[in-house]
Structure 1
Amino acid sequence: MQPSVRPLPLGPLLLCSAIVVTLSMGIRHGFGLWLQPVIMAHGWQREDFALAMALQNLIWGASGPFVGWWADRTGATRVLWTGAALYALGLLGMATSSDLLFFNLSTGVTIGLAQACTTYAVVYGVVGRHVSAERRSWAMGLVAAAGSFGQFLMVPVSSWLIQNLGWSQALMGLAVSALLIAPAAFGLREQRLPATPASPGSPPTTAPSTGPVGAMAALREAFQHRDYLLLTAGYFVCGFQVAFIAVHLPSYLKDNQLAPEVATTALALIGLFNIFGTYSVGLLGQRLRKNHILAAIYLLRAIVMVLFLMTPPTPLTVGVFAATMGALWLSTVPPTNAVVAQMMGVRHLSMLGGTVFFSHQIGSFLGVWLAGRLYDATGSYNVVWWIAIALGLVAFALNLPIREHQQPARRLASA
C-alpha cells in the first residue's frame, strides 16, 4: 500500500511549472548586467560583487536537499510561496545595500534561499511524480525550455530597466515580478488520496515523503550508488562553466572594448538558443542514452570555448559563441534529473535532485568567485577560461560510463 496524490492535469502542470522557472531563472540570468553599475556606485572591486554571487550559488545548492525534502514531504506549493517572498526581499536588499555585509546577506543568502525554493529541483519533483517515465524527459525538457525563455525575455527587460530607471530601481521592479511566482504555485498543488494498492502500469502517483526516515534511507542509498556519484561529480562542471560565463561575460566583453549592447545581446541569445537546446535534448532523451547526451554536451562546450578564445572578439564572434553556448546552456538539466529519476525513483526526486544540484552550485561558487579573484590578481579572465575548458573534458569522461537504467537493489519508490 502506497500513499498517493491525485494526478494533476498535464497542461496546467507544465504551464505553471514553466511560469515559475521563467521568472526564477529569468531574473537571475541577468545579474551580470549589474556587476559594473554596482561596483562603480559603491567603489567596490569585481571580487566583492563576485563573492556575493558565488555565495548566492552556494546557498542555493546547500539548501537544495533540505528544500527538496520539504517539497517531497509537504508538496511544492508552500515552498514556492516562501521562495517568492524571499526572492522579492532579497532583490530589495540588493537594491538598497550600502555595505558589503548587507549586500552579501541579501544578494547571497536571501536570494540563494529563494532560488532553492523556486527552481528546478522543486518543480521537477512535481513533474516527475505526475508524468510517466516514457514522457518524463520530454516534460522536463519543456519546463527547462521555459526557463530558457525567461532568460531570453528578462535580460533585455533588465537592461532596459537599468538604462531607464537606474540599477537600484530596476532591482525593485524585478522584486515585484518575483512575487508572480506565488499565484503560479497553485497549479502545482498536490492533493493526497487515501492509500491504495499500486496497480501495474499505472501512472506515477507517489506522494510526497511522509517523514525523514525514508529520506535518510534514500540519501544513504544514493551515496552508495556509483553512477549517482559520477552524475553528481559531472554536474559540478556545469555549474562552474555557466556561472562564470553568466556573471563575467559582460565584463569580459567590456574589457575587450565592445559596447554594452553586445553583452546584453549575448546573454539574450544564450537564453533564446537555450530554448531550442533544452527542448531538443528533452526529446533526444526519449531515444538516446542520457549519459551519452550529457557527455556530448560537456565536450561540445569545451570545443566552443576553445574556438571563442582563438578568435578576436567582435559582435559577430560573440553572437556565434552565445548562440552555440546557449544551445548547450541548460541542456544538462533535463537529462540529469531524468537519470536521477530512473536510477533512484520519484518519491524523493526533489531531494535527490537537489543533492546533485548542490554539486552544481559548488561549481558555480568557484566559477564566479575564482573568476573575480583571478581577474583582480592578473587583470585577465584567460586562466579561468582554460580551467572551464579542462573541466569540460573531465565531465565528458565522468558521464560516459554512467549506467542510467541501473536500479538500486532496494527500491524506495516506484519509477
Structure 2
Amino acid sequence: MVFSPARLSMRQVVLCGAMVVTLSMGIRHGFGLWLQPITQAQGWTRETFAFALAVQNLAWGVFGVFAGMLADRFGAFRVLAGGAVLYALGLVGMALSPNAFLFALTAGVLIGAAQAATTYAVVYGIIGRQIDPSKRSWAMGVAAAAGSFGQFLMVPVEGFLISGLGWQQALLVLAALVLLIGPFAWGLREPGFQSGQPAPREQTIVQALREAFRYPSFQLLMAGYFVCGFQVVFIGVHMPSYLKDEGLSPQVASYALALIGLFNVFGTYAVGVLGQKFARRKILAAIYFGRSVAIVAFLWAPLTPASVYLFSAVIGLLWLSTVPPTNATLAQIFGVAHLSMLSGFVFFSHQIGSFMGVWLGGLLYDRTGSYDIVWWLAIALGVFAALVNLPVREAPIRRAPLAQPA
C-alpha cells in the first residue's frame, strides 16, 4: 500500500481498522458457546468458566491502558501485531489447559491482554489521528459496526466448528485465523511513527491523566461505560446457557448471538452518523435506557424462539452503539494526542463492569439456580447510566497556554 507523507487515506484506515476489529471482536463474541462444552468435558462449574472470562475482561481493561499508551507514543502497528500473536497463544492455551488455573491464565489473562492490543482503544486512536474531525464519529461508527459484523459472521462459524470438529480443535482453528490481524495491522502504519521515534506531545502522560480525571464529564463517561460492560458481557456469555436451561435448542442461542451482531451493524453505524448531528450525551442516555426497556420486555414476555430473536434484534441495535459516541466525545473534549490512552482508561471501567457481569452471572446461578437477580441488576444499572450521561459536557476543554522555553 502507498502511504501519504502526512496522513493515511480515510479508506485505508477504515478498511484495515474494520478488519482488525472484525476478527478480534468477532472471535470473542462467541466465547459463550464454549461454556457448556468445556465445563462438561472438564467437570468444571459454570462459575469456573465465568471466572476465567471475568479475568479476561478485567485483564483487557488493565492492559488496555498500557496498550493505549504504547500506541499513542510509538504507533499502533507494533501493538496490533503483538496482540495478534498473544491472541493466538491464548486460544491454544484455552484449548489445551488441563486445569482451571491454567485456563484462567490463558483464556483470562493472555486473551485479555491480546484483546486490549487489537480492539477499539488502539484502532480508535488511529482514527482520531488520521481522520478529519468532521468524519471522525462516522468512521468510529464504521469500526464499531465492523465488530458487530464480526459477531454476526463469526458466531455461527464458531458454532459450526464446535459441532464439526469438537471444542478443542475449533479453538486451534481460531488461533490460526486470528493471526490475519497482522497483515491488516501493516496497513495501519502511521507515517509519523514509522521512524520508531516517539511522537511529540504538547502534554505529558501525567498531565493528560491529571486533566482527565479532574474533569467531571470524564468520570461520568467512565460510570456509563461500567454499565455497558456489565450488560453486554453478561448477556453475551450467559444468554446461551439461560436459553438452554429454559428448554430452547443450542441453535436458538447461536442465531440469537448472530442477530445481535447483525443488528448492531446497523445500530453502531447509525449512531456514528447521528453523533455528527446531535448531542452525544443524549444519544448515550437513550441507548442505556433503551437497553433496560428491552430487557424488561424480554423477561415479561413468554419465552419462545420468536421472542428471543426479537429481543436479540432490539438489543443488537443498542449493543456496541455506545462505543462511537463515547470515544468521539473523548476526542472532542481532550483532543487526539492521548486518545488511545484515555480511551483505555474509560474502557478499563467498562471491563470492571464486564468482570462483574460475567462473574456474578456464574456465581449467582450456582448459588440460586437462576439468572434472575443479574437480569434485574442489568435493568437498574441501565437506568443509572442513562441518568449519569445527561450532564456530560461535550465542548473542548479549555487549557492554559503552555509556557514557552526561554
TM-score (norm: length of structure 1): 0.93
**Which amino acid letter does the alignment assign opposite residue 369 of structure 2?**
G
Tell whether the 8 Å contact from 1:5 to 1:193 is kept in structure 2 after alignment: no
1:328, 1:309 → 2: CA distance?
Answer: 17
What's the secondary structure of 1:7's corresponding residue? Answer: coil
- The CA deviation string for residues 256-294 of structure 1, in whole angstroms up to 9 with x for no partner, is 000000000000000000000000000000110001000
1:137, 1:208 → 2: CA distance?
Answer: 26
- The CA deviation string for residues 363-384 of structure 1, in whole angstroms up to 9 with x for no partner, is 0000000110000000000000
- 1:222-371 alignment to 2 at 5 Å? 222-371=212-361
- The CA deviation string for residues 105-145 of structure 1, in whole angstroms up to 9 with x for no partner, is 10000000000000000000000001111110001001111
Give the CA deviation at 1:40.
0.1
Equivalent residue number for residue 113 of structure 2 = 113
1:409 aligns with 2:366: no
Assess, with a 3 A threshold, how the Cα gap between structure 1 residues 193 and 310 changes in structure 2: closer, same or farther: closer
2:322, 2:340 → 1: CA distance?
Answer: 17
1:5, 1:339 → 2: CA distance?
Answer: 28
Assess, with a 3 A threshold, how the Cα gap between structure 1 residues 340 and 40 changes in structure 2: closer, same or farther: same
**Which amino acid letter does the alignment assign opposite residue 82 of structure 2?**
T
Structure 2, gaps ≥5 residues long: none
- Equivalent residue pairs, number: 397
Give the counterpart of 2:363 among 373, 387, 393. Answer: 373
**Which amino acid letter does the alignment assign opposite residue 231 of structure 1?**
L
1:79 aligns with 2:79: yes
Tell whether the 8 Å contact from 1:274 to 1:331 is kept in structure 2 after alignment: yes
Give the CA deviation at 1:409.
2.7
Tell whether the 8 Å contact from 1:21 to 1:118 is kept in structure 2 after alignment: yes
1:193, 1:112 → 2: CA distance?
Answer: 26
Equivalent residue number for residue 49 of structure 2 = 49
**Which amino acid letter does the alignment assign opposite residue 382 of structure 1?**
D
1:394 aligns with 2:381: no
Structure 1, gaps ≥5 residues long: 195-206
1:24, 1:411 → 2: CA distance?
Answer: 40
- The CA deviation string for residues 21-79 of structure 1, in whole angstroms up to 9 with x for no partner, is 00000000000000000000000000000000000000000111111000000000000
Tell whether the 8 Å contact from 2:75 to 2:193 is kept in structure 1 after alignment: no
Give the CA deviation at 1:225.
0.5
Q: Give the root-mean-square deviation of aligned CA atoms.
A: 1.7
Assess, with a 3 A threshold, how the Cα gap between structure 1 residues 277 and 411 changes in structure 2: closer, same or farther: farther
Assess, with a 3 A threshold, how the Cα gap between structure 1 residues 323 and 138 changes in structure 2: closer, same or farther: same
Equivalent residue number for residue 100 of structure 2 = 100
Assess, with a 3 A threshold, how the Cα gap between structure 1 residues 112 and 212 changes in structure 2: closer, same or farther: farther
Give the CA deviation at 1:192.
2.0
Give the CA deviation at 1:208.
6.3
**Which amino acid letter does the alignment assign opposite residue 181 of structure 2?**
I
- The CA deviation string for residues 156-177 of structure 1, in whole angstroms up to 9 with x for no partner, is 0000000000000000010011
1:385 aligns with 2:375: yes
Tell whether the 8 Å contact from 1:221 to 1:408 is kept in structure 2 after alignment: no
- The CA deviation string for residues 272-323 of structure 1, in whole angstroms up to 9 with x for no partner, is 0000000000000011000100000000000000000001211000000000
Give the CA deviation at 1:211.
7.5
TM-score (norm: length of structure 2): 0.95
Give the CA deviation at 1:411.
7.7
What's the secondary structure of 2:394's corresponding residue? Answer: coil
Tell whether the 8 Å contact from 2:193 to 2:199 is kept in structure 1 after alignment: no
Give the CA deviation at 1:405.
1.4
Equivalent residue number for residue 149 of structure 2 = 149
Assess, with a 3 A threshold, how the Cα gap between structure 1 residues 68 and 151 changes in structure 2: closer, same or farther: same
Assess, with a 3 A threshold, how the Cα gap between structure 1 residues 221 and 404 changes in structure 2: closer, same or farther: same
1:182, 1:146 → 2: CA distance?
Answer: 17
Give the CA deviation at 1:407.
1.4
What's the secondary structure of 1:8's corresponding residue? Answer: coil
Assess, with a 3 A threshold, how the Cα gap between structure 1 residues 329 and 256 changes in structure 2: closer, same or farther: same
Tell whether the 8 Å contact from 2:231 to 2:357 is kept in structure 1 after alignment: yes
